[in-house]
């Protein structure tokens, strides 16, 4: 099953392809869904080791007056240009290390790397599409991002966070507030002095581009362990707070700096310490000061936060957790290309399922509270926070659901109390073949599935003037193992999960990771004039 979907080179459709629509695409659905993911795995005689290493292939689905148009293009990053010019992989990725030419001065290279603390990473931005100001960027988790034209998918300019703020790495999952400002987190390693986690804000900055030039540091948080910082893929945000989970899934800095000389890849520099604890940092967005209370929980691994909000003197946040750090191992191409049953058996034992969990942090803590007291006063959760002898607070989460990843929700409720989230159902197959909806209040679960079909991360788009949280549609691109079934864009009623429309596309569509929906009015803002899409 996996061989026809994973590790196979994708192809471009640089000119718009009109889809064949069955059903009814709502006329109010006007805009473009950009999606990003790995799409090129072989160059010449060389091949990547890991699915997350593949060259980024960006694709777009444009909704206009009930019609759907598709196009795709490989991200013309510097990495892509170097690799294609050489017709082989010449730039290292996290799971694929390219070793230096032995004719070159390897000791000189080693000295340079050690001075820099970490190597210069690839700009193969294959994880997500993010917005800073009015600009859109292909992003991954390094210091480089590539600004793209969301209509043509062409690269406009390569940007380096380091030119604007002292960062070595940054997440591909920022948050946007109601004013249009962007908040993100990154890691500053030794090159910039004392190592810290950095929270920063990029103002909407409508009149000066790029917006990144106006970046402001909100705060920095020192590493708990100088040489072993926590890995993080996302974070939480409420109206007034940033939530950062410092997990015991750690990056070995010395091993990272010397990976190329140890003949190991960068991915092997991540280690999970199951004997450690997980610290939870709560930072005031306005003052940049961290709450002094020590919140902690048991060892866990988290990649994706779902949402967070404030409620009656508490901060509530939901995220997808794992009991170990083995998820990354599952996506090595050699593993994904196993026969289905062999894949299931080998990974079911080694990898824990994703669990949606709710944590609650009380904002006011009486130091005289007796040991063992539960400080959570909210009536709609079973999550607990227990006072410890040293004044720290031990957090016991509530389990909401098991088996969903790549969570999404109605972003108008981001940072606010909410009821629904959507995601890809993770069962022990190489690809998610279902998408689901969870009602947090009733715990009702609804899903969509179709034989031989593999949907991408679901994206919610609200109906115009919607009041109810789930009034809108779910968009997901679907690829099929059935050669008689074309790939298609699926449009579901977000309330019922019933199919409204599907737009079948006569083009190659690849399995992707994350995306961003841009309403048509935002395209108008991009050019300061009305844009007519000439399809």
Q: Which of 364-376 are b and which e, b meaning 16 or more Cβ less than 10 Å from the residue's Cβ?
A: ebeeeeeeeeebb
311: exposed, middle or buried (Cβ count in 10 Å: 0-12, 13-18, 19+): middle
Residues making up the annotated binding site for Fe cation are 173, 233, 304, 514
Predicted confidence band at 103 (pLDDT cuts at 50, 70, 90)?
A: very low
What integer pLDDT is reported at residue 262 of this predicted model? 73
From the list 501, 399, 511, 505, the residue with the least C-alpha distance to 455 is: 511
Residue 409 and residue 38: Cα distance in Å, rounded? Answer: 24
Residue 90 and residue 98: Cα distance in Å, rounded? Answer: 6
What integer pLDDT is reported at residue 530 of this predicted model? 33
Tokens matching residue 362: 């009380």
From the list 191, 190, 189, 186, the residue with the least C-alpha distance to 202 is: 186
Tokens matching residue 17: 């392809």
- Which three-class secondary structure string do you get for 36-83? ECEEECEECCEECCEHHHCEEEEEEEEEECCEEEEEEEECCCHHHHHH
Residues making up the annotated binding site are 173, 233, 304, 514
Alpha-carbon distance values, 315 to 54, 363, 443 (Å): 38, 7, 21
Tokens matching residue 363: 């904002």
H helix or E strand, kind and range, residue 279: strand 277-284
- Which three-class secondary structure string do you get for 319-331? EEEECCCCHHHHC
Predicted confidence band at 225 (pLDDT cuts at 50, 70, 90)?
A: confident
pLDDT > 80? residue 108:
no
Q: What is the pLDDT of residues 459-488, one digit of tens each?
A: 999 999 999 999 999 999 999 888 889 999
What is the distance, to the nearest Å, from the Cα of residue 449 to the centroid of all Cα atoms in its chain?
23
Lowest mean pLDDT among 86-100, 105-119, 250-264: 105-119
Tell me whether strands 38-40 and 128-132 are parallel, antiparallel or unpaired.
Answer: unpaired
Cis (ω within 30 of 0) for the bond into 234?
no
Q: What is the pLDDT of residues 487-514, one digit of tens each?
A: 999 999 999 999 999 999 999 999 999 9
**In this structure, is the dihedral angle defined by the CA atoms of residues 21, 22, 24 and 26, taken in order, positive or negative?**
negative
Q: What is the pLDDT of residues 80-97, one digit of tens each?
A: 999 999 999 999 999 998
From the list 361, 367, 434, 360, the residue with the least C-alpha distance to 398 is: 360
pLDDT > 90? residue 335:
no
pLDDT > 80? residue 523:
no
Predicted confidence band at 430 (pLDDT cuts at 50, 70, 90)?
A: low
Q: Which residue has the tokens 């210091």?
A: 143
Q: What's the whole-model pTM score? A: 0.93
- Which three-class secondary structure string do you get for 302-366? EEEEEEEEEECCEEEEEEEEECCCCHHHHCEHHHHCCCHHHHHHHHHHHCCCCEEEEEEEECCCC
């Amino acid at each position: 099953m996996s061989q026809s979907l994973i590790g196979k080179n994708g192809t471009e459709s640089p000119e718009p392809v009109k889809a064949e629509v069955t059903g009814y695409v709502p006329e109010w659905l006007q805009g473009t869904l950009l999606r990003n993911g790995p799409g090129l795995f072989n160059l010449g005689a060389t091949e990547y080791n890991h699915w997350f290493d593949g060259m980024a292939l960006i694709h777009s689905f444009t909704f206009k007056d009930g019609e759907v148009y598709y196009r795709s293009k490989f991200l013309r990053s510097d990495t892509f240009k170097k690799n294609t010019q050489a017709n082989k992989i010449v730039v290292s990725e996290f799971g694929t290390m390219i070793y230096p030419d032995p004719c070159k001065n390897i000791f000189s290279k080693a000295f340079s790397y050690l001075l820099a603390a970490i190597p210069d990473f690839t700009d193969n931005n294959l994880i997500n599409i993010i917005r800073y100001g009015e600009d859109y960027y292909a992003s991954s988790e390094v210091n480089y991002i590539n600004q793209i034209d969301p209509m043509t998918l062409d690269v406009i300019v390569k940007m380096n966070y380091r030119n604007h703020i002292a960062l070595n790495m940054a997440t591909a999952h920022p948050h946007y507030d109601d004013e249009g400002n962007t908040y993100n987190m990154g890691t500053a390693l030794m090159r910039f002095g004392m190592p810290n986690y950095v929270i920063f804000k990029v103002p909407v900055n409508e009149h000066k581009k790029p917006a990144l030039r106006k970046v402001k540091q909100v705060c920095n948080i020192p590493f708990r362990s100088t040489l072993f910082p926590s890995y993080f893929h996302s974070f939480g945000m409420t109206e007034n707070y940033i939530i950062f989970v410092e997990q015991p899934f750690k990056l070995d800095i010395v091993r990272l700096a010397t990976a190329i000389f140890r003949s190991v890849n960068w991915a092997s520099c991540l280690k999970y310490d199951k004997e450690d604890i997980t610290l939870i940092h709560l930072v005031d967005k306005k003052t940049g000061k961290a709450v002094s209370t020590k919140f902690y929980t048991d060892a866990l691994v988290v990649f994706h936060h779902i949402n967070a909000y404030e409620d009656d003197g508490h901060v509530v946040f939901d995220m997808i957790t794992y009991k170990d750090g083995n998820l990354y191992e599952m996506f090595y191409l050699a593993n994904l290309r196993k026969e289905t049953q062999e894949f299931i058996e080998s990974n079911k034992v080694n990898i824990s399922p994703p669990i949606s969990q709710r944590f609650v942090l009380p904002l006011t803590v009486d130091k005289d509270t007796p040991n063992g007291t539960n400080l959570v006063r909210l009536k709609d959760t079973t999550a607990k926070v227990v006072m410890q002898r040293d004044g720290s607070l031990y957090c016991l989460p509530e389990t909401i659901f098991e088996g969903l990843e790549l969570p999404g929700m109605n972003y108008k409720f981001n940072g606010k109390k909410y009821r629904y989230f959507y995601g890809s159902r993770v069962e022990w197959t190489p690809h998610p073949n279902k998408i689901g909806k969870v009602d947090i209040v009733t715990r009702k679960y609804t899903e969509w599935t179709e034989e031989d079909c593999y949907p991408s991360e679901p994206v919610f788009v609200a109906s115009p003037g919607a009041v109810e949280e789930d009034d809108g549609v779910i968009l997901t691109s679907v690829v099929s193992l059935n050669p008689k079934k074309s790939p298609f864009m699926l449009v579901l009623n977000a309330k019922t999960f019933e199919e409204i429309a599907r737009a079948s596309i006569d083009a190659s569509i690849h399995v992707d990771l994350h995306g961003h929906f841009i309403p048509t009015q935002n395209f108008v803002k991009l050019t300061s004039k009305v844009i007519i899409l000439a399809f």
